[in-house]
Amino acid sequence: MLKNAPVMVTYSINDVEKAKHFYSEVLGLEVTSLGENMLSLSVKGSTVAMYLKKNHTPATYTVLNFTVDDVKQTINELKEKGVEFIHYKPEEISEVSPDKMKVDEDGMADFGGSFKIAFFNDPAGNNLAILQM
């Protein structure tokens, strides 16, 4: 029934203008206003919508993962734009084999293979990540 239906991710924000600036100017994404209380991101064929919520609570999970070719390079580029990365402990990232994971000074978690991930927040406190697979 839904196997051919496009999927759209949605989550809440607490300030439309701050979100618009962050996603367009800092992350470099195409941002469209959908009325005064909603934004839409177009990311490589996927659509993400953010809506203003008066009693917004940041998501306690990662709402968006961006797959990049080089996490370390992307960390450096985002840090130049003022993005601060979260320094989780390995057991906070994964309950499966946290002893095999290393987290560096930038907060990048390395699982010992090609998979690397780093987390940061948007202005509303929602958790985002960049990952390399």
How does pLDDT run across 48-75, given as a tens digit for each residue? Answer: 999 999 999 999 899 999 999 999 999 9
Question: How far apart (Å, rounded) are the C-alpha atoms in residues 48 and 65?
Answer: 12
Give 55's contacts (C-beta < 8 A, 6+ positions apart): none
Q: Which fold has domain 7-53?
A: 2,3-Dihydroxybiphenyl 1,2-Dioxygenase; domain 1 (3.10.180)
Could you report the per-residue pLDDT of 123-132, keeping only the tens digit for each?
999 999 999 9
- Indicate the SS3 state at residue 68: coil
Radius of gyration of the chain measured on its C-alpha atoms: 16
Task: Flag whether pLDDT at 21 surpasses 80.
Answer: yes
What CATH number is given for 63-133 in this structure?
Answer: 3.10.180.10
Asked whether this chain's domains 7-53 and 63-133 adopt the same fold, the reply is yes
Domain layout of the chain by residue ranges: 7-53, 63-133
Question: How far apart (Å, rounded) are the C-alpha atoms in residues 67 and 117?
Answer: 9
Q: What is the pTM of this model?
A: 0.88
In terms of C-beta density within 10 A (0-12 exposed, 13-18 middle, 19 or more buried), how is residue 118 classed?
buried
Mean pLDDT of 76-100: 81
